[in-house]
Amino acid sequence: NAGVMQNPRHLVRRRGQEARLRCSPMKGHSHVYWYRQLPEEGLKFMVYLQKENIIDESGMPKERFSAEFPKEGPSILRIQQVVRGDSAAYFCASSPAVSRETQYFGPGTRLLVL
């Protein structure tokens, strides 16, 4: 049973470009969470999604950031017009519908904005 998959593992972008981060939850999991981690800091909640629904996006910046979890395919975290401050590790976690509190994390995508 594969764990949570994220790709790419490393992503380099220049300022102004777009970054797309993908997350495939564990098999059977219908809840996805995105977190951002800056160096030497804890994880900061960004958004919580179920299939085709955004449940809670209170941690997401109002501009340039968006997330989706389509009926088919992975969840996508999209950052438009990236700036240097977007450089961070982005982690995705998933949980089964019956146990929303137990989150399993992916290996993360490390975004570097030049």
Partner 1 sequence: GESVGLHLPTLSVQEGDNSIINCAYSNSASDYFIWYKQESGKGPQFIIDIRSNMDKRQGQRVTVLLNKTVKHLSLQIAATQPGDSAVYFCAETRGNQFYFGTGTSLTVIP
Contact positions vs partner 1 (CB under 8 A):
4, 6, 33, 35, 40-45, 48, 55-56, 58-59, 91, 93, 100-108
CA 112, distance to chain mean position in Å, is 15
Q: Of the two residues 66 and 104, which places its CB atom closer to partner 1 in the complex?
A: 104
Contact 46, 59 (CB under 8 A): yes
* Nearest distance from C-beta of residue 65 to partner 1, angstroms: 16
* Nearest distance from C-beta of residue 56 to partner 1, angstroms: 4
**Dist. CA 42–CA 96, nearest whole Å:** 24
Angle at 38 between CA 35 and CA 42, to 5 degrees: 65
Q: Of the two residues 18 and 41, which places its CB atom closer to partner 1 in the complex?
A: 41
* Nearest distance from C-beta of residue 99 to partner 1, angstroms: 10
- Residue 97, classed as helix, strand or coil, is helix
Concatenated DSSP letters of 71-92: SSS-EEEEE-S--GGG-EEEEE
* Nearest distance from C-beta of residue 101 to partner 1, angstroms: 5
Q: Of the two residues 6 and 24, which places its CB atom closer to partner 1 in the complex?
A: 6
Q: Of the two residues 2 and 72, which places its CB atom closer to partner 1 in the complex?
A: 2
